[in-house]
Amino acid sequence: MIETELPEELRLLQRSVREFVETRLQPREREIEERDEIAPELLGELAGMGLFGIGFPEEHGGSGFGRLGYCVAVEQLARANASLWNVIGGSVGLCATAIHLGGSDDLRTRYLPSLLAGKTIGAYALSEPGAGSDAGALRATARRDGHRYILDGAKTFITNAPIADLFAVFATVDRDAGSKGITAFVVERDTPGLEIGPNDAKMGLRGSTTAQLFFRDAAVPAAQRIGAERTGFGLALRTLDHGRLGLAAHAVGAAQRLLEASVAYAKGRTQFGRPIAANQGVQWPLADAATEIHAARLMV
């Protein structure tokens, strides 16, 4: 039989993240929405709660809660403005994960502790203007030049780019090889030849910044390569698999909050002399939603 009860330590984690979200994050939601930015001290509070390190092993500075713990925390975090988790997702769910999955011990030691502590912010740069769903067709190049690579090309829609300290960047060492030429690098923000565009104006997800990156003869030390040459596309996909776990948990948490808000409204709104929740036409869709959310949570 499948065990559906969470272990005690994860229930404690769930409770503490939920309380943090309700007392510290939800009161700031409107401000984030209106300003289209998250105040740095709020990111500091998320870091202080250990939320950047959830799901990573303790040896690199993570909290050691594993993937289930990661999903439990993300689901609770999703009860606040979605942009808050997006910053964490882009920084550790993608950038730190790429370094963790494919990086040398040196790269892991150099970058993971500060990323997982929320002291530095990371971003994941795969998409390009001409390579979205078909990311294997990316055109940015990495040309070997002695002990370094020279990067050229553009990246688009990069979450956290306006605030990131470092980027996991995917570029090809051989355009003719298609996805088999793709190679990954850690590129620091202050690398000469890397220009970061302005924050994109989006319709939703306000507070979560995205921007374009432009590489023009940007020299990156060969030691910054994540894994071997030509292994970048597999790494990109494995990293996205991890990221999708967080997206799924986030969708469940957001749906749960909307359901709870809907139930509360239906109980409080009176028409024809009784709460609208007394009508089956209102009860049934709410019951259907509760059932689907429960099933989705079990699938995550």
Ligand X SMILES: Cc1cc2nc3c(=O)[nH]c(=O)nc-3n(C[C@H](O)[C@H](O)[C@H](O)COP(=O)(O)OP(=O)(O)OC[C@H]3O[C@@H](n4cnc5c(N)ncnc54)[C@H](O)[C@@H]3O)c2cc1C
CA distance 65 to 71: 10
Smallest distance, Å, CB 205 to ligand X? 5
Q: H or E segment at 168?
A: strand 166-172
Nearer to ligand X, 57 or 197 (CB): 197
Q: Which is nearer to ligand X, 133 or 280 (CB)?
A: 133
- Closest separation in Å from C-beta 277 to ligand X: 35
Tell me whether residue 158 is exposed, middle or buried, using C-beta atoms within 10 angstroms of its C-beta: 0 to 12, 13 to 18, 19 or more. Answer: buried
- Ranked by CB distance to ligand X, the top (closest) residue is 132
Q: How far is the CB of 121 from ligand X (least distance, A)?
A: 12
DSSP one-letter string for 153-186: EEEEEEETTTT-SEEEEEEES-GGGGGGGEEEEE
**Residue closer to ligand X, measured from CB, 125 or 194:** 125
Give the tokens for residue 278.
Answer: 């007394």
Q: Which residues pair with 171 in a beta bridge?
A: 183
Structure tokens at 151: 């990067």
Comparing CB distances to ligand X, the nearer of 75 and 128 is 128
- When the beta carbons of 205 and 290 are compared against ligand X, the nearer one is 205
Q: How far is the CB of 88 from ligand X (least distance, A)?
A: 12
- DSSP letter assigned to residue 251: H
Shortest Å distance, C-beta 263 to ligand X:
29
Q: Minimum distance from CB of 100 to ligand X (Å)?
A: 17
Cβ at position 132, least distance to ligand X in Å: 2
Show Cβ contacts of residue 27 under 8 Å, excluding neighbours closer than 6 positions.
none
Decide: helix, strand or coil at residue 300: coil
Q: Are 194 and 214 in contact (CB under 8 A)?
A: yes
Chain residues that interact with ligand X, rule: CB under 6 A:
90, 123-127, 132-133, 157-159, 205, 210
> For 111-138, what is the HEC assignment?
HHHHHHCCCCCEEEECCECCECCCHHHC
Q: Which is nearer to ligand X, 82 or 282 (CB)?
A: 82
Nearer to ligand X by C-beta: 132 or 285?
A: 132
